[in-house]
Amino acid sequence: MAIFKKKKEYTIDDIILPEHIGIIMDGNGRWAKKRGLPRSAGHSAGANNFRKIIRYCSDIGIKYLTMYAFSTENWKRPKDEVNSLMKLFKQYLEEALRDFKDDTIVLKFIGDTTAFSDDIQALMKDAVEGSKDRDGMVLNLAMNYGGRSELVMAAKNIANKVKRGEILPEDIDEKMISDNIYTAGQPDPDLIIRPSGEYRTSNFLLWQSAYSEYVIMDKLWPDFDFNDMNYALIEYAKRNRRFGGV
């Protein structure tokens, strides 16, 4: 007689698709170091993987995908490294604009994009404008994004509304904060995946992730593939989301 009830084996058939997934694309530098390559080679491999994973998420029916590409703190890195990242952003945006006719993905940027060079900002604007009427997955690219600076921005917006007499301080509620951050109108992320094995948020979606399920994985971002994505989805299916209830 079995004393312990056998744990349910979860498989790909148990997947309940999250509506919104966030991914912290981490580990490019370590990936390069392991191969004796410069960090920029890791970013290049990471950018290629980004292209594959966004396609996969769109194909399996994810509605919202938020990819953390560059944080408000990443400007601290050596100039060379920042420059190589800017070059990759530019390449990706140019390519996205070229492939526009056949694509269904709606591209958005979250973060303070005014910090980028004029040519990158112009490409971002064209990409947003050119994809806004599509009906596919919404891809939020987090660029110069920080959860704290996002909340500072929301506080300033709301304070200005009070100052102009449009609202009273007592009107401020959680919905108003949600409506004044970059992801306004979108559902909160159900699942956040962090490759590279670090157990921290690194300032990603601080407000939005209050009840997100985190899956931390040891794989470095350039090695993170479809099987890893499926693993994260199966992990998510196992979670019992209570939202503070019972």
How is residue 72 written in tokens? 């408000």
Per CB under 6 A, the list member of 18, 26, 109, 214 interacting with ligand IPE is 26
From the list 19-27, 94-102, 105-113, 185-193, the region that binds Mg ion by CB under 5 A is: 19-27
26 near Mg ion, rule: CB under 5 A: yes
Q: Which does 68 bind (CB under 5 to 8 A by kind): ligand IPE, Mg ion, none?
A: ligand IPE
Can you list the pairs that 241-245 forms with residues at least 24 positions away whose Cβ atoms lie under 8 Å?
241/190, 241/211, 241/213, 243/211
CB of 105 to ligand IPE, least distance (A): 20
Taking CB atoms within 8 Å and a gap of at least 24, the contacts of 33-40 are 34/220, 39/81, 39/84, 40/80, 40/81, 40/84
How many residues line the site for Mg ion (CB under 5 A)?
Answer: 1
**Cβ-based burial of 38 (10 A; exposed 0-12, middle 13-18, buried ≥19):** middle
Does 195 participate in binding ligand IPE (rule CB under 6 A)?
no
Residue among 26 and 228 whose Cβ is closer to Mg ion: 26
- Least distance CB 115 / ligand IPE (angstroms): 14
Q: Which positions lie near Mg ion, rule CB under 5 A? A: 26
Question: What are the residues binding ligand IPE (CB under 6 A)?
Answer: 24-30, 68-71, 74, 85, 196, 198, 200, 202
